[in-house]
Structure 1
Amino acid sequence: MDPLQARTRFKELRETKGPVGAAELDAVWAGLDTVRPEEILGAWRGGEFDTGHPLNGELAKAGWYGKTFTAVHDAKPLICRGPEGELYSDRELGKGEASLWTVEFRGESTATMVYDGRPVLDHFKRVDDSTLMGVMNGKGIPADGPFYYFFLERVPGSPDGDRHSGPDA
């Protein structure tokens, strides 16, 4: 699948109501372009693909909003919405925060968020200038998964490299 086909299929799968097959998401992932950590700085709103992964629906219960990459060594993986609607970095749930590195995953080097307090890696690929596809991987997960698949959309007003301290609602 070439990058144009992968972007088109990503958008179709994202609009799917109900379960999405991991194999289809893997095919899309393989067709997308890698991205460098410096290219994804800013605030991002998140969503997930329902693949039947045990994590599906759990982040929503925690009020997960998205991620903020202030700098390569200042990443906030769990931006959540509090009871008053405020956005905050849930350091307790994440056991700290994270940083961005270039890490090889499935034979390609791409931007990856490395959690400070959990053996978890979130790998990213570019769908377009305002959308990323993510695959969560970590210690104890076999090479063929199951993986948690998600996406991020750049928060309006957060152009690449915007160095504000948190996302705007």
Structure 2
Amino acid sequence: MSGGTPSVRERWNALRTATGPVAPDALDALWADLAPVDASSILGSWRGFVFPTGHPVERVLARSRWHGKRFVSLDDAKPLICRADDGGLRSDTAAGRGEASLWNIEFRGEVTATMVYDGMPVFDHFKRVDDTTLLGVMNGKAAAVSAGGHLLYFGLERE
């Protein structure tokens, strides 16, 4: 920490370990300070978690036992890897209305890795916290993703 200003990593850690509601404004500010990431650099399996902002999709993901995302290739992305009843992992194509693909798309004035859902007007944009950690934000048609004017923020940690 220099001059009393927390680093990006310190801010991430504070938000990641918060037990109560996280202010969407704090996540917006962190997003603005992170570097964009190229879609081809995030291939692989990622464990996910949602920042507790009160967004209604948080409850949907909890009910589905969301585990994370898997990016097999740019044309083969699995947005909803969920825990099955037997404890194994499965791609929940019903809840996700199909699967997805990865693109580099402009969001908030920067081109960054973006997962485009096949069956919904939804985009998950990603920025790099470090080589094994991403901040994601769900964007799309307002009715599909917005809650009280704020978007769903989530984190991904490389498995």
TM-score scaled by structure 2? 0.91
Task: Tell me the equivalent position of 1:148.
Answer: 152
The 5 A counterparts of 1:19-168 are 19-140=21-142, 145-155=149-159
Q: CA deviation at 1:55?
A: 1.2
Bigger shift: 53-62 or 64-73? Answer: 53-62
Q: CA deviation at 1:6?
A: 2.0
RMSD across aligned positions (CA): 1.4
Q: Cα 1:145–1:124, aligned 2, differ >3 Å: closer, same or farther?
A: farther
The letter for the 2-side match of 1:39 is S
Equivalent-residue separation in structure 1 for 2:86 and 2:79 (angstroms): 20
Structure 1: 5+ residue stretches without partners: 156-169
Q: CA deviation at 1:139?
A: 1.0
The letter for the 1-side match of 2:153 is Y
Identity of aligned residues (%): 58
Equivalent-residue separation in structure 2 for 1:105 and 1:117 (angstroms): 20
Q: CA deviation at 1:56?
A: 1.8
Q: CA deviation at 1:52?
A: 1.3
Aligned length: 151
The letter for the 2-side match of 1:26 is D
Q: CA deviation at 1:146?
A: 1.4
Equivalent-residue separation in structure 2 for 1:93 and 1:47 (angstroms): 17
Q: CA deviation at 1:140?
A: 2.3
Equivalent-residue separation in structure 2 for 1:36 and 1:28 (angstroms): 19
